[in-house]
Structure 1
Amino acid sequence: MRQIDDLDMLRVLTSRFRMKLFSLLFRIGPVTVSELARRMGADPGQVSYHLRQMQKHGLIEDVPELARDSRERWVRTAMVGWVLDTDIEAPEAAAVVQAWTSQWVIDQFERLRDFQRTHMTLPEDWRGAGFGSSRHLRLTKDELAQLADQLDAVLQPWRELTRSRVESSEAPPDTCPIFVFYHAFPEAP
């Protein structure tokens, strides 16, 4: 996991378009700019511009060994996971973190909504594979931190399996990108 504490890097992802582009790159792995443009419903020049902005900050990288000719550009994310440094306290930093967090939450719920809207178009054996849950708990702040650590530990072996499959490009043919998200936060009674 890479620790993100660079405000300019985070600022790049406050753009809704870039957040969607970055999420798409995580899901589909190395891909051509023209394929990204097609999937985003955008002009390839627009996609290239946003990719350059993300590349300046180390979020994505070129994969020239996949190109079939000098006009074809392949890209991928430059990291398999990252953690936001939440110790940023300056007012400008807080504003950037808030803007990014807003886009991040919007992206998560849009993806859930898209799944709910389209899950019946998936192959039959995948239609019921998704799941969701919510719980109401009463915890101290230390217990909530412990819960976060336990959930992270549960996902760690699955992240490692995913990373090895992405790096080797040898995933079983029946794998599918899986999006996991959860939130746990205090609420006013």
Structure 2
Amino acid sequence: MTAAPPPEELADAATLKALAHPLRRRILAELRRGPASATTLATALGHNTGGTSYHLRELARHGFVEEDPALGRGKERWWRVRERDPRTPPAGELSADTVKLLTTIRNAQLAEDVDAWERYQQERGKGREEHEWADAVEFSRGSLTLTRAELTQFFDDYMALLKRYRRAPRETPQEARRILLRFIAFPDVPPAPNAD
């Protein structure tokens, strides 16, 4: 397995704004599937090459993507996602505008996750998913009663487990699939009683 990058705090509003842009989020999603050029991204996303090229440079400026020199030929630049372990400081340490921006990003991420889940369900329903992967859904819902410090430790343990399974593309078996993993933990807020 490949060594994972160290945790890196993202608190800069400009960096978060770069991540919040809808087209940049779509570019990052495509690049997570593998390296691409501005031209191939433009085709995949239905945009012009100038636009994807500009957004790639902005993502690179903020450290989200990097050039893949092994694939570039001539003036054509190929890009890949830069491996990072981004973390955000507690909301109490951020400005109100930064918290609002972070909430916007997280809401977009949750919507993207729901879309990915629905795409998987549609493909599985049509029988297009390979048989051995058709029911490869490990799903768990649960709750724990934890202190704030224990929740932090739980997350650190989860991240350590996630990193244990990371590997470089050259080390990946041919039969392996990209698996989407999501972790979210938040305090339970009971619904307000009905005012009947």
TM category, shorter:
0.7 to 0.9
Q: Are the equivalent residues in 2 in contact too, given 1:19–1:107 (CA < 8 A)?
A: no
* Percent of aligned positions that are identical: 26
Q: Are the equivalent residues in 1 in contact too, given 2:38–2:52 (CA < 8 A)?
A: yes
In the alignment, residue 65 of structure 1 is paired with which amino acid? A
Q: 2:157 is matched with which residue: 138, 146, 150?
A: 150
Q: Are the equivalent residues in 1 in contact too, given 2:11–2:94 (CA < 8 A)?
A: no
Deviation at residue 176 of structure 1 after TM alignment: 1.6
- Map residues 1-189 of structure 1 onto 2, 5 A cutoff: 1-26=7-32, 28-70=33-75, 72-86=76-90, 88-119=93-124, 120-159=127-166, 162=167, 165-166=168-169, 169-189=170-190
Q: Are the equivalent residues in 2 in contact too, given 1:4–1:83 (CA < 8 A)?
A: yes
Q: Are the equivalent residues in 2 in contact too, given 1:4–1:82 (CA < 8 A)?
A: yes
- Unaligned stretches of 5+ in structure 1? none
TM-score scaled to structure 1, two decimals?
0.82
Mapped partners of 2:84, 2:152: distance in 1: 23
Q: Are the equivalent residues in 2 in contact too, given 1:2–1:79 (CA < 8 A)?
A: no
**How many residues are paired up?**
181
TM-score scaled to structure 2, two decimals?
0.80
Q: Are the equivalent residues in 2 in contact too, given 1:15–1:103 (CA < 8 A)?
A: no
- State which structure, 1 or 2, has the greater radius of gyration over its C-alpha atoms: 2
Mapped partners of 2:19, 2:71: distance in 1: 26
In the alignment, residue 112 of structure 1 is paired with which amino acid? W
- Unaligned stretches of 5+ in structure 2? 1-6, 191-196
Cα-to-partner distance string for 1:46-68 (whole Å, 9 max, x where unaligned) = 22222122122121112233123
Higher helix share: 1
